[in-house]
Amino acid sequence: AQSVTQLGSHVSVSEGALVLLRCNYSSSVPPYLFWYVQYPNQGLQLLLKYTSAATLVKGINGFEAEFKKSETSFHLTKPSAHMSDAAEYFCAVRVDTGRRALTFGSGTRLQVQP
């Protein structure tokens, strides 16, 4: 079975600072990895996904993530935080089964200080 661990339930950065949200996964088979963002009172929006085509994945809003198999990690980064980035971020993993269920981490709430 696969699982996802997000280190840090809350992360606070200053506007303009680097954003780093950590995600580690465990999976016995090659995983598909996703980052979703949830703004207050809204559903989940896909930021980016790893599909094995490239280890560095670029997403929307300037975010990117790097798949590191040796570290079983898929950390999300953004060079310069913006106030509008304040939201909750979820890392998710899916293995290639019929159920297609996404296994989510517990989420990281990002605060951006002015």
Site for other proteins in 52-81 (CB under 8 A): none
Cβ contacts of 83 within 8 Å, gap of 6 or more: 15, 112, 114
What 3-state class would DSSP assign to 42? coil
CB closer to other proteins, 4 vs 11: 4
> Dihedrals φ, ψ of 86, to 5°?
-60, 120
Among the residue ranges 11-19, 41-49, 65-73, 75-83, the one whose residues contact other proteins (CB under 8 A): 41-49
Pairwise CA distance, residues 35 & 107, whole Å: 10
Our finding on whether 98 is near other proteins (CB under 8 A) is yes
Our finding on whether 84 is near other proteins (CB under 8 A) is no
Amino acid at residue number 69: K
| Minimum distance from residue 106 beta carbon to other proteins (Å) | 5
| Minimum distance from residue 14 beta carbon to other proteins (Å) | 26
Our finding on whether 9 is near other proteins (CB under 8 A) is yes
Per-residue tokens: 87: 């939201």
